[in-house]
Amino acid sequence: MEQNIIAGKTAVITGANSGIGWEAAKKLAGMGCRVIMAVRNEEKGKQARGGIMKEHASAHVEVMKLDLADLASIRTFAEQVKSRLDSLDLLINNAGVMMPPYSKTKDGFELQFGSNHLGHFALTGLLLPLLVKTEQSRVVTISSLAHNRGTINFENLDGALGYKAKKFYNQSKLANLLFAQELDRQLKQHGLQTISVACHPGISATNIFKFGKRDAPQFLKKFANRFLQPPEMGALPTIFAATDPHLSGGEYIGPNGKGHRKGYPALETPHMVASDEATSLKLWEVSEELTGVTFDFTPEN
């Protein structure tokens, strides 16, 4: 992860105002990368940007509004990015909702599947024209250890036939991984140089700080800080996936410690539930249908 690998490049990071996203934004900004913090709450985004600028006064960091639970917001954000930039080196699909009470996005999707997967699917598709014309560009999508307990229930994606928060979280994180892998396959099939890499942070202290919109109890925060992966360590797989020059696409990066819960980044093998290409393709087709976003793999001249 030498500085010159990312210096002078441009990255969009979703959910960059807190937790692992903020740690990744801070690290990349410190390495000389121009960072666009794509956040739902601009005020919190500006505060988070201030924290980065305190440590890296000469960094190039911007805040832009993006609500992944609103397809109109995603389209507006993508158009603004494309109007500002001629190229995009890095898209980090980081933002996530974890185990809220049953609720829906503005477009009627179950909130976790809609935000964690469909929102990032749409965003990636809309920014693809910039990515594919940028040399050595890549998409990094953050999954979770929870993917190994996930299944894609195509008959109940909106939760209308029953909802369990943890089950739907697991489903959304499996969807993230299936999407990252299928995206890389399709990029390669079309002979494009852009790559797609997946990663996960292990079990980070940030994971249990909130239950939906409620703060976690204080004793859990103390437990998390003592025994779980701190956010700056949890962000290392993201940084590795974003900057390591030896990655060729399709990899899955996670911590190298026991159970892949803590440690330093290393190549990891996804659970077998993520190896079904038929499910990946069906998820892709359903995602295009639900979002109205189709991927154009033809690079612009």
Active site residues: 169
Cβ–Cβ < 8 Å for 98, 201 = no
Whose tokens are 């900057």? That residue is: 243
Taken in order 173, 174, 175, 180, is the CA torsion positive or negative?
A: positive
Q: Where are the alpha helices (DSSP H) in the chain?
A: 3-6, 19-30, 42-55, 71-84, 111-112, 120-132, 165-189, 218-227, 231-234, 236-243, 277-291
Among 287, 267, 16, residue whose Cα is nearest residue 172: 287
Cβ–Cβ < 8 Å for 234, 201 = yes
Rg (CA), the chain: 18
Q: Is 128 exposed, middle or buried (0-12, 13-18, 19+ CB in 10 A)?
A: buried
Among 129, 53, 56, 58, residue whose Cα is nearest residue 91: 129
